[in-house]
Copies of this chain bind each other. A is one copy, B any other.
């Protein structure tokens, strides 16, 4: 983490890592300034000095968490020219959030989306952007695959993106609620089968 940042930026990244862990478990409303002070070993003034407000810190911590999950996605992407590899790397990233959680509270996008949708416009907007990144990537992959002949031409990019995200996020909720990864494995198998149904490229 943040090995190549200058000192001030390193401190900032460390605070974001610690804050993201706390927010992921307790949510925005459930995270007190005291909890943030305790985990970051900063005073109230120190936190405000770096971030201005709890809300700004929450938005930046969400942003940090999104980037960390995207970095994981790029590790899983074995061949960026293959439609299959691109779509399965999305599935693998969600699976890993249960098998090898990067943040203690699970999928921060899901947690933030559910908490902020009615109550916190800046956090809601950042969660939308985080989900958008996935939706746009999937849609682009479908369009490109249709162009290249690796995906059936009647495949609806919007629909595939919706179904993949809904199923994988819903499975994250179930796996966390029951402390039972099987819910995620079943969703991954279902989505993998779904992906195979519109792929035209040969299995590699």
Contacts and interface: CB of A to CB of B under 8 A. Distances in A.
Contacts of A171: 162, 166, 170
B162 A118 contact: no
Contacts of A118: 25-26, 104-106, 176
Nearest to A131: B177
Contacts of A177: 113, 117, 124, 127-128, 131
A59 to B, nearest CB: 15
Interface string A97-114: 000000011100011011
Q: How many copies does the complex hold?
A: 2
Taking residues whose C-beta sits less than 8 angstroms from the other chain, chain A's interface range is 35 or more
Given A115-B115, A170-B167, A170-B170, A162 B183 contact: yes
Given A163-B187, A170-B167, A178 B128 contact: yes
Nearest to A105: B118
A95 B182 CA distance: 25
Given A170-B167, A174-B165, A110 B114 contact: yes
A115 B27 contact: yes
Given A28-B30, A166-B170, A169-B170, 5 more contacts: A27-B119, A29-B30, A30-B119, A127-B177, A166-B173
11 contacts: A27-B27, A27-B30, A28-B30, A105-B117, A111-B114, A117-B177, A128-B177, A128-B178, A158-B186, A169-B173, A170-B170
